[in-house]
Amino acid sequence: DIQMTQSPSSLSASVGDRVTITCQASQAIGNYLSWYQQKPGKAPKLLIYDASDSASNLEIGVPSRFSGSGSGTDFTFTISSLQPEDVATYYCQQYDNLPLTFGGGTKVEIK
Amino acid sequence: QVQLVESGGGLVKPGGSLRLSCAASGFSFSDYYMSWIRQAPGKGLEWISYISSSSVDTKYADSVKGRFTISRNNAKYSLSLQMNSLRAEDTAVYYCARGGAETLPTDFWGQGTVVTVSS
């Protein structure tokens, strides 16, 4: 199985701060990586697929302050200017090989 | 708009069975792979199964293989998960999701249904 190591597991930042989350795959997965936002008591919501935030890969309606990059084994998710409504847990997921696997999540809070 | 509505969750004893259903609307159901993903209380996400658009291909996580069966009815826009020989570790919120296979992102999730396995 492909292990997805996500870090940090939690972070606290101020409104307007730049926030970065990383996800490392235990083997190369090309660009088959997505990022999800999960608010408490809610279902995960897809933000980015195929690893990057190019115009075709940022899910419709997702604010442009969310971005993604990377390929192979190392991936990054960035919130360029943290907003109060971004408080959530963020997960990465690889969909290159079965079983599809998720990172452990990053809980983002406002300082 | 796209909607996925799960039902069928509840409390069941270890060794028991439960059948989850997912009603889809707002998209051409027969064009999409569909998946089930679960989340144990306070834990992360675990993919458990997918089914191809025409039901030809089904895959399972090792943790549920041989106990769970995924199926779909394209005419009724419905997805199901038959869960047998349930264990305490199957306790989780079960999400129905669109997509989710090799090279296919999971692009929409239902709100989930809670399954509790306890004596």
B84-116 tens-digit pLDDT: 999 999 999 999 999 999 999 999 999 999 999
Position B40, amino acid: A
Interface of B with A (CB under 8 A): 44-47, 59, 61-62, 95, 100-112
For CA atoms A20, A21, A25, A28, give the dihedral sign: negative
Query: How far is it, in rounded angstroms, from Cα A49 to Cα A32?
Result: 7
| A80-A81-A85-A87 Cα dihedral, nearest 10 degrees | 70
What tens digit of pLDDT does each residue of A23-66 get? 999 999 999 999 999 999 999 999 999 988 665 566 778 898 99
The reply to whether A44 touches chain B by the CB within 8 Å rule is yes
| Residue in B45, B104, B108 nearest the CB of A91 | B45
Q: pLDDT tens across A64-74, in order?
A: 899 999 999 99
Cβ atoms of residues B36 and B70 within 8 Å: yes
pLDDT for A57 equals 65
Asked if residues B85 and B15 have their Cβ atoms less than 8 Å apart, the reply is yes
B100 contact residues in A (CB cutoff 8 A) = 95, 100
- Pairing mode, strands B10-12 and B113-117: parallel
**CA-closest candidate to residue A77, choices A39, A29, A22:** A22
Give the whole-angstrom CA distance, residue B35 versus residue A12: 33
| Contacts with B95 from chain A: Cβ below 8 Å | 43-44
Are A96 and B103 in contact (CB < 8 Å)?
Answer: yes
- Rounded distance, CA A18 to CA A79, Å? 6
The residue of chain A nearest to residue B5, with distances taken between CA atoms, is A43
Q: Does any CB of chain B come closer than 8 Å to the CB of residue A107?
A: no
| Residue A98: other Cβ atoms inside 10 A | 16
Percent of chain A with pLDDT over 90: 86
